[in-house]
Copies of this chain bind each other. A is one copy, B any other.
Amino acid sequence: MFNFKVIAESTTSRARAGMIQTAHGTIETPVFMPVGTQGSVKSLTPEELSAIGTQIILGNTYHLYLRPGCDVISRFCGLHRFMNWGGPILTDSGGFQVFSLAKFAKVTDEGVEFQSHIDGSRHLLTPEKAIEIQTCLGADIIMCLDECIQYPAGQQDTQAALESTTQWAKRCKHAWQRNANGHNALFGIVQGGMFKDLREMSVDALVTIDFSGYAIGGLSVGEPIDVMLDIAEFTLPKLPDMKPKYLMGMGTPENLIELVAQGADMFDCVLPTRNARNGQMFTSKGTMNISNSRFKLDTNPVETSCTCYTCRNYSRAYLRHLYMAKELLAHRLHTIHNVHFFIRFMKQIRSTILTDTFDAFKKDFYDKRKHDCLE
Contacts and interface: CB of A to CB of B under 8 A. Distances in A.
Interface of A: 38-40, 42-45, 63, 67-68, 71-72, 75-76, 82-84, 296-297, 299, 313-315, 317-318, 320-322, 324-325, 327-329, 331-332
Given A67-B321, A75-B297, A76-B299, 15 more contacts: A38-B321, A39-B325, A39-B327, A42-B327, A42-B328, A43-B332, A45-B329, A63-B325, A68-B317, A68-B324, A75-B299, A76-B315, A76-B318, A82-B317, A328-B328
B327 A328 contact: no
Nearest to A335: B328
A39 B322 CA distance: 8
Please report whether the interface of chain A is mostly helix, strand, loop or mixed according to DSSP: loop
A313 B44 contact: no
Contacts of A42: 327-329
Contacts of A45: 329, 332
Nearest to A310: B45
A72 B68 CA distance: 44
Nearest to A84: B313
30 contacts: A38-B321, A39-B318, A39-B322, A39-B325, A40-B327, A40-B328, A40-B329, A42-B327, A42-B329, A43-B329, A43-B332, A44-B329, A63-B325, A67-B325, A68-B317, A68-B324, A68-B325, A72-B296, A72-B297, A72-B317, A75-B297, A75-B299, A76-B317, A76-B318, A82-B315, A82-B317, A82-B318, A328-B328, A328-B331, A332-B332
A44 B45 CA distance: 12
